[in-house]
Amino acid sequence: MRGLAVLVTLVCLASAQHQALIDYLERRLLAIEDRISLWHEQTTRYASELRELKQQMVSQLENLDKEKETLRTNLDSVGTRVDRVERELDYLETQNGAQPCVDVDDRLIEQQVTLVKEKQKAKYAKISDCSDMISSIKAMKIMKRLGGAKGMWSKDTSKSSGKVYIFNGTNDDTIREFASVQDFTRSLGMSLSTDLKLPSAWRGTGHVVYNNHAYYTNQAEEIMVVKYDMKNSSVTDSAVFPVQDPVPVYTLTPETLMDLAVDEEGLWAIYATKQNERHISLAKMDSNSLDIEQMWDTNCPRENAEAAFVICGTLYVVYNTKQPGRSRVQCVYDVNDMVSNEEAPLVYFPKRYGAHSSLKYNPQEQLLYAWDDGYQILYKLSMKKKLDV
């Protein structure tokens, strides 16, 4: 009996130790579970904080990019204004000599000033007060390849808004507007553009954007010039161009009966007729009323001509040369008779893809916006004074 009691006592002790071990293990497991739960909660919080930090960084980077583009636009605008002031100062220096350091009778000075003005008026019959002309093509930049083989692209030639306008093809009624050159270059096709629907189709590649208006032509038996207000989406004015039997102004761009151009003095029309079929004609237009102010028959041939543009009242006609991949300004006509075709410098365009279907001069930037076989190209110009020729 005593042995049985000892055995029972040992069994009870073993059972108690086993229960104590189980209790200890349960407490350890609960502690581990608590720590795992705390770790999971902290990990979740850290992940959330990291996501918020990432969103803040992305937002700040986007703001920095916007500020960078704004600063770049402002710097470009300032540079353009500085260049313009420098050109105006150069022009004033050529027009105004040093003043004599002597006392002169006021009436004599007035007589001399009047005489000089009359001589200048008689000599030039001035259409333009601008005296710049092209010296050479300083640089070429291929911006993008977009659209068909022929078309026109440009900024508003009278403003520094930065918007880019695309006239794709030679017959359409929709202008594509990009908010900036950066949007134009990084856009996948036309994805970043806005459509501007015109009330009628434009023809050819001779359009311009000037003072927030699109000037384009409807071409049939007669040429209709249309002035479209892009801000108010309405036709401001239209007029039949007063010539009979128009013919394509360039033989290498037969879709274009009239090429509109803008320079420092306003709106111009480049055209040709059967009466003067071998040569190109030029007209100065009133950009407000579309009235014709004056017309000239130039000595620039239509044959083998690609495109043309006007700078400071001087017409530059670009021809396809026999050299592979080269175009050249081969005819110059100055309405003020300050430069003759023989005196004008030779201007060659760099290597190109096909033929220029349009060349649009921007007087604010002194750049040519070119459309060459679907490529949109910028040509930077070197200028000189006409009187230095």
In the 3-class helix/strand/coil scheme, how is the chain assigned residue by residue?
A: CHHHHHHHHHHHHHHHHHHHHHHHHHHHHHHHHHHHHHHHHHHHHHHHHHHHHHHHHHHHHHHHHHHHHHHHHHHHHHHHHHHHHHHHHHHHHHHCCCCCCCCCCHHHHHHHHHHHHHHHHHHHCCCCCCCEEEEEEEEEEEEEECCCCCEEEEECCCCCCCCEEEEECCEEEEEEEECCHHHHHHCCCCCCCEEEEEEEEEECCCCEEECCEEEEEEECCCEEEEEEECCCCEEEEEEECCCCCECCCCCCCCCCCEEEEEECCEEEEEECEHHHCCEEEEEEECCCCCCEEEEEEEEEECCCEEEEEEECCEEEEEEECCCCCCEEEEEEEECCCCCCCCCCCCEEECCCCCCEEEEEEECCCCEEEEEECCEEEEEEEEEEEHHHC
Task: Return the number of other C-beta atoms located less than 10 Å from residue 13's C-beta.
Answer: 10
Instruction: Indicate whether 343 pLDDT > 80.
Output: no
Instruction: Indicate whether 289 pLDDT > 50.
Output: yes
Query: If we measure between CA atoms, which residue out of 162, 171, 261 comes closest to residue 210?
Result: 261
* CA dist., res. 348 & res. 346, Å (int): 7
Instruction: Indicate whether 214 pLDDT > 70.
Output: yes
Amino acid 115: pLDDT: 52
How many Cα neighbours within 13 Å face the side chain of 159? 13
pLDDT band at 113 (very low <50, low <70, confident <90, very high): very low
* CA dist., res. 169 & res. 374, Å (int): 9
* CA dist., res. 233 & res. 98, Å (int): 51
Give me 200's structure tokens: 């009628």
Amino acid 385: pLDDT: 87
- Whether 251 and 274 have beta carbons less than 8 Å apart is answered as no
Give me 225's structure tokens: 């010039």
Instruction: Indicate whether 104 pLDDT > 50.
Output: no
pLDDT band at 172 (very low <50, low <70, confident <90, very high): very high
Amino acid 168: pLDDT: 96
pLDDT band at 297 (very low <50, low <70, confident <90, very high): very high
C-alpha 282: how far from chain center: 25
Instruction: Indicate whether 257 pLDDT > 90.
Output: yes
Q: Name the residue with higher pLDDT: 333 or 4.
A: 333
C-alpha 248: how far from chain center: 27
Task: Return the number of other C-beta atoms located less than 10 Å from residue 124's C-beta.
Answer: 16
- Whether 38 and 46 have beta carbons less than 8 Å apart is answered as no
Q: What is the largest CA-CA distance in the chain?
A: 155
Digit-coded pLDDT (tens) for 58-101: 888 888 888 888 887 777 767 666 655 665 565 455 444 444 44
Amino acid 94: pLDDT: 46
On the 0-12 / 13-18 / 19+ scale of CB atoms within 10 A, 185 is: middle
Tell me the average pLDDT of the chain.
Answer: 83
Q: Name the residue with higher pLDDT: 283 or 112.
A: 283
Amino acid 324: pLDDT: 64
Percentage of the chain with pLDDT > 90?
Answer: 50
Average pLDDT over residues 148-173: 91
Amino acid 16: pLDDT: 75
Amino acid 43: pLDDT: 86
* CA dist., res. 105 & res. 44, Å (int): 92
* CA dist., res. 90 & res. 312, Å (int): 15
Instruction: Indicate whether 325 pLDDT > 80.
Output: no
Amino acid 101: pLDDT: 40
Digit-coded pLDDT (tens) for 183-207: 999 999 899 999 999 999 999 999 9
Amino acid 121: pLDDT: 43
Instruction: Indicate whether 320 pLDDT > 90.
Output: no
